[in-house]
């Protein structure tokens, strides 16, 4: 059993953003499902966000979805950093991040 399933969602998410943490497809799907559930439940943390911020969250969520659809292979370091920045952006408002998300360009590969 993956030890992450025993963690608090906040702890799991923050560990996924660490530079030395190797993201996998299951992590991305777990996080996107978590965000989807929070949106469907009308999480008050999201309801307090201004509309432009919600659009940024949605855009990052869509970028992640497209990356999952189109990329079936290993993720290099550039893509890993980009994915982590998109995760942080998509979940903005749901977690206390140590610093604001950084906008990175999509990986070129």
Task: Answer whether residue 10 is part of any domain.
Answer: no
Residue 7 lies in a domain: no
**What do you get for the CA distance between the two ends of the chain, in Å?**
32
Q: How far apart are CA 9 and CA 76, in angstroms?
A: 25
Residue 5 resides in a domain: no
Q: What is the pLDDT of residues 19-44, one digit of tens each?
A: 889 888 889 999 999 999 999 999 99
Give the angle 13-16-19 at the CA atoms, nearest 5°: 140
In a domain, 2, yes or no: no
53 falls within a domain? yes
Please state the domain count of the chain: 1
| Structure confidence at residue 8 as a pLDDT band (50, 70, 90) | confident
10 Å CB burial of residue 103 (0-12, 13-18, 19+) is: exposed
pTM of the full structure: 0.78
């Amino acid at each position: 059993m993956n030890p992450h399933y025993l963690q608090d969602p906040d702890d799991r998410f923050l560990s996924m953003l660490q530079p030395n943490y190797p993201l996998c497809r299951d992590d991305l799907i777990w996080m996107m499902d978590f965000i989807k559930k929070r949106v469907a439940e009308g999480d008050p943390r999201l309801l307090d966000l201004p509309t432009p911020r919600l659009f940024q969250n949605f855009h990052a969520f869509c970028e992640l979805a497209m990356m999952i659809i189109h990329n079936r292979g290993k993720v290099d370091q550039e893509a890993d950093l980009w994915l982590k920045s998109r995760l942080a952006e998509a979940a903005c408002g749901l977690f206390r991040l140590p610093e604001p998300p950084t906008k990175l360009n999509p990986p070129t590969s």
